Structure 1
Amino acid sequence: MLALVVAVLCGACVLATAALWARHEDQAAIRERESLIAGDMVESIDRILDNVTSRRQQELSILPGQPCSTVELRLSELETYVQYVRSVNLVENQRLYCSSAMGRIDVPLSDYLSPAPDGSTLDLIEGTPYQPQSPVMPLYVPTGKNTGLLYIIESTYLADTLAHGVRYEAGQVVLVVSNARALNDRGELISADSAAALHGTRAASPRWTFSIVVVAAPTFVVQTHWKYGLLAGAAAILVNLLIGAGYLIVFAPRRLLLSAVRRALRHGQLHIAYQPVVEIATRRMTGVEALIRWTHPRWGPVSPSAFMTEVESSSLLASVTRFALQRATDDIVQKTDIRPLRIAVNVAPMDLERKDFVADVLAANDKLPDDITLVLEVTERFLLQKHPRIEAIFNSLKAHGVQFAIDDFGTQHSNLDLLGRFPFDYVKIDGQFVRQVDRQGRELIRAIAAVSKHYGMEVVAEGVETESQHEALRSLGVPFGQGYFYQRPVTVSQLFVDTHANPLTTKTRVTP
């Protein structure tokens, strides 16, 4: 379940990342197109202004300051060489006194440019005093201390130039002059504030005091959203398919295995084998450990190591543990008269986290007579952190006569402090130490036995396989043993009280 949740979260993260990537990339593509168009428009307007100020500049620059009657005809002639302009005007002492279109005039320069210019200056106005409803761009170029030329550039040429940007997927193209007024691609004057409110890209001229604002066309925006949305969606689907495939590759065998175990429970393929726990001094059986076995109709016997690890980390654990408790207690009560007897059932870490675990144990324990004791075997790996819930489970079950054994002691952390923190009744020494009892493992077993005795716990040596191991354990005073040397796991009807007379006993070391 955790892996599934992680896979789903990873898939959601992939989708979110793809959406963010698509949003970032489509915005970048839109801004790039806007920037490209704005740059082209700036270059186009720059060429218009450069053309205006460069044509016949030398001849024109000597005219301001001369009487209009003297230069009027020459001014009109030179104006014909200057493109994009309505008129060229001579300025002296901040007044227009001669026009290429109208001849002698007398108009303040401030009617065209405000405030009065100090150098080359651009502006946009709604019209001239002579054509008030026709927007133009006044361009002032000084030629002397108090003289200059005022070019009146037709806004139509500028608007036509801006309109070319619309052909390249721009929705709006606006020329902003000196951050005061702006001209759109339809030739309309708008305020600079209106231009600033546009959510577009701005490019400024490096030589003149104007800038271009471009807003991408809605159709281009939609197409770009779809383009990157589809790319991101396809990539997200591909990655999620890979995540799903990885999940199935890793966990599908586990799901199939757990499904098979679930069917085995339902169809009676699981059963219990019992391995005696004997008193080492007499070799008489004092208890049994209940071991789950699975015989598959097609695969035959299935090793517990092949399925119990997966079961112990799944929701199937409760059913399997409940089956082991019920079947083991029923077998011992109904199919054997060996008394007194302890019956040990293994429980997994997740069992102690189940709400109904105590109820399951007590239901099984209530079926046992007084001379049969239920023992729960737990491993040390989940007891290192003393938890109030575990303490409560121990205390509750021990109050009803259930005993506890710590299994495989020493294999995880060899933490002797566990023996003082939890009220165990038995300590089961792992077989890897028992196999070394007649060599370097002797003193370790002696130490474990001494500490266990100090806390009032009995020691059970697991994995006894040879006579020499048996004798070494007896010499150390270990009271109980378990292993193939005494008897292999068998059905309840094959249990023998005295393992000396047991025909199934193996006197030599064997490999399970």
Structure 2
Amino acid sequence: MSDPHKKIARKAELSKISSSFRRLSSRATLGAMVAGAAVLMFIAIGVGEHLATLALRENERLIGNDLAASVDKVLDGASTSSRANVKTLPGSPCIEVERKLAELETHLRYVRTVALVENGRVYCSSALGPIDVPLSAYVQARRRAKDITLLAETPFQPGVPVLAVFSSTTSNSGVLYIIEGEYLSDVLVHGVRYGAERAAFAISGNGVLDEKGRFHTAIDADAPYSTGVTSRAWPFTILVASSPSLMTRQRWAFAVASGAIGLLVAGLIAAMYLLAFAPRRLLLAAVRQGLKRKEFHVVYQPIVAVSDRSVVGVEALLRWHHAKWGPISPAIFMEEVESSDMLEEVTRFVLQTALAEMSALTPAFPLRIAVNIAPRDLQRKGFVAEVVAAVRSLPPNTTLVLELTERFLLSESALTSAAFSALRAEGVRFAIDDFGTQYNNLDLLGRFPFDYLKIDRKFVSQVDTVGADLIAGIVALARPFGVKVIAEGVETQSQHDGLESVGVPYAQGYLYQRPATAQSLATSISSSAASAQH
């Protein structure tokens, strides 16, 4: 084979290898994206499981707190509310106070027996009369003025769990209240009704009473309790465990929600990937097709007078709802549009749509209609003629404001100056958008005849904290140029008050109204049109 033929074959082989490498690279990128989506789904499911566990524990804590409060009421009612009636009785002969104890018992809810204690001996009972039983048969070694003990049974009623509540009046005397465990189990059953599988009353080192009224010397290892809530008033703990059905419902609910969020995030990542890595021409082609398919529309955010919140204007905002990917932020496509031939078509769409929709409101409202443009529009052939024709069709007292974002401003030129002059002669006004960001400064106000200056939202967000002096300075510097200030991104009343205090005349933001269609703004514009001053 001759050398030329060898060179041709070598080139063909290199081209084939290069093409294969690109395919492999594309597949690797796609594979990485799929793997990333799978990892994201596993993470989302794991997060859902964790959130489900947290939700179950929170529900158990709520149940435990409710049950503990109910038991507190029982114990407080037994010991505190009746203390004044019985504090003088210990030491009195049983035959003299037996009737009083019986009467007292009838007024205490959940209390089976009221007994008197003297010198460490229980000597008089509302149910049995005179008795002689050591206090230690009911109460463990005491460490406080009032104490409780959970018992599997009593000497007089075997096999029936009770809760003994001892309230001392002196070091060796006091009143003993016996509360049947059945009452406590009735309280615990309420927890089961609210989603708990098991609920128990426990005293550390003493015993456990479950919702079925069964006494245990320790927590049953076969029935673990996942949450414990300790009473703040008495030395006991409520133990709670969720039912399997509730656990299953919670885990499924969070798994579905987390999975949906994972799918949504994965879809958004996929959309961002496609938009970020797709060739520029495909993005512009999609914009062109979107215009043809009427996927683009315009919404409007009111501009209000800070003094009385009357609507004095609106800003037209372009929105794209893609047939497949849904809403797409202008930040994704506008930079490419502004540096391409599509700029003319997109600007014309926004301008004509905004003026037509706002002019169609009945009756027409005297206000300012702000439309965003790029400096390249000012240098585009036919742009001035288009704007002039559109302006001359506007209703009386309606003004078009063209907003130019700072970072796109061009240096002063004869063509730009001529466009400014021609449009201002037709009543068009100009605004600097996002003032204070990127590369521009106040020198712009001297070089271009602007009418409005829009302060960027990142400065407005600080006006009620540390940014008031900065905004006041911008207002003062703009005043000699005859430029009026508009604050963007106002979201709170304190920001509104801060702007008013430093003399900002106009503002817009979610505090006043979110962007909406022209027709939905008609009512708010109508209510403020009488007081609007241009």
Q: Alpha-carbon deviations, 1:407-460, whole Å to 9, x = none?
A: 001111241111111000100000000001112221211111111111001100
- The answer to whether 1:469 aligns with 2:495 is yes
Match of 2:394 in 1: 368
- The answer to whether 1:225 aligns with 2:251 is no
- The answer to whether 1:446 aligns with 2:472 is yes
Match of 2:380 in 1: 354
1:286 to 278, 300, 312: 312
- The answer to whether 1:437 aligns with 2:216 is no
**C-alpha distance 381-483 of structure 1, shift in aligned 2 (>3 A):** same
SS of the residue aligned with 1:293? strand
1:490 to 516, 522, 528: 516
User: What CA distance in whole angstroms lies between the structure 1 residues aligned with 2:330 and 2:519?
Assistant: 21
**C-alpha distance 322-472 of structure 1, shift in aligned 2 (>3 A):** same
Q: Percent identity?
A: 52
Structure 2, unaligned stretches of length 5 or more? 27-273, 529-534
2:436 to 410, 423, 432: 410
User: What CA distance in whole angstroms lies between the structure 2 residues aligned with 1:347 and 1:460?
Assistant: 17
User: What CA distance in whole angstroms lies between the structure 1 residues aligned with 2:354 and 2:458?
Assistant: 27
**C-alpha distance 250-442 of structure 1, shift in aligned 2 (>3 A):** closer
Structure 1 segment 115-264 matched on structure 2, within 5 A: 223-232=2-11, 234-235=13-14, 252-264=278-290
**C-alpha distance 420-299 of structure 1, shift in aligned 2 (>3 A):** same
| 2:361/2:522 contact within 8 Å kept | no
User: What CA distance in whole angstroms lies between the structure 1 residues aligned with 2:470 and 2:497?
Assistant: 16
User: What CA distance in whole angstroms lies between the structure 1 residues aligned with 2:388 and 2:364?
Assistant: 22
User: What CA distance in whole angstroms lies between the structure 1 residues aligned with 2:372 and 2:2?
Assistant: 64
1:450 maps to amino acid:
A
Match of 1:200 in 2: none
**C-alpha distance 239-365 of structure 1, shift in aligned 2 (>3 A):** farther
User: What CA distance in whole angstroms lies between the structure 2 residues aligned with 1:325 and 1:457?
Assistant: 23
Shift of 1:360: 2.2
Shift of 1:304: 2.4
| 1:427/1:458 contact within 8 Å kept | yes
User: What CA distance in whole angstroms lies between the structure 2 residues aligned with 1:300 and 1:464?
Assistant: 27
**C-alpha distance 403-334 of structure 1, shift in aligned 2 (>3 A):** same
1:425 to 426, 436, 451: 451
Shift of 1:244: 11
User: What CA distance in whole angstroms lies between the structure 2 residues aligned with 1:353 and 1:498?
Assistant: 37
| Range with greater deviation from structure 2 (381-390 or 436-445) | 381-390
Shift of 1:320: 1.1
2:498 maps to amino acid:
A
SS of the residue aligned with 1:487? coil
Q: Which has the larger radius of gyration?
A: 1
| Range with greater deviation from structure 2 (292-301 or 484-493) | 292-301
- The answer to whether 1:458 aligns with 2:484 is yes
Structure 1, unaligned stretches of length 5 or more? 1-221, 503-512
1:341 maps to amino acid:
L
1:474 maps to amino acid:
E
Shift of 1:376: 0.4
- The root-mean-square deviation of aligned C-alpha atoms, in Å, is 3.0
**C-alpha distance 244-416 of structure 1, shift in aligned 2 (>3 A):** farther
User: What CA distance in whole angstroms lies between the structure 2 residues aligned with 1:251 and 1:427?
Assistant: 36
2:450 maps to amino acid:
F
| 2:364/2:395 contact within 8 Å kept | no
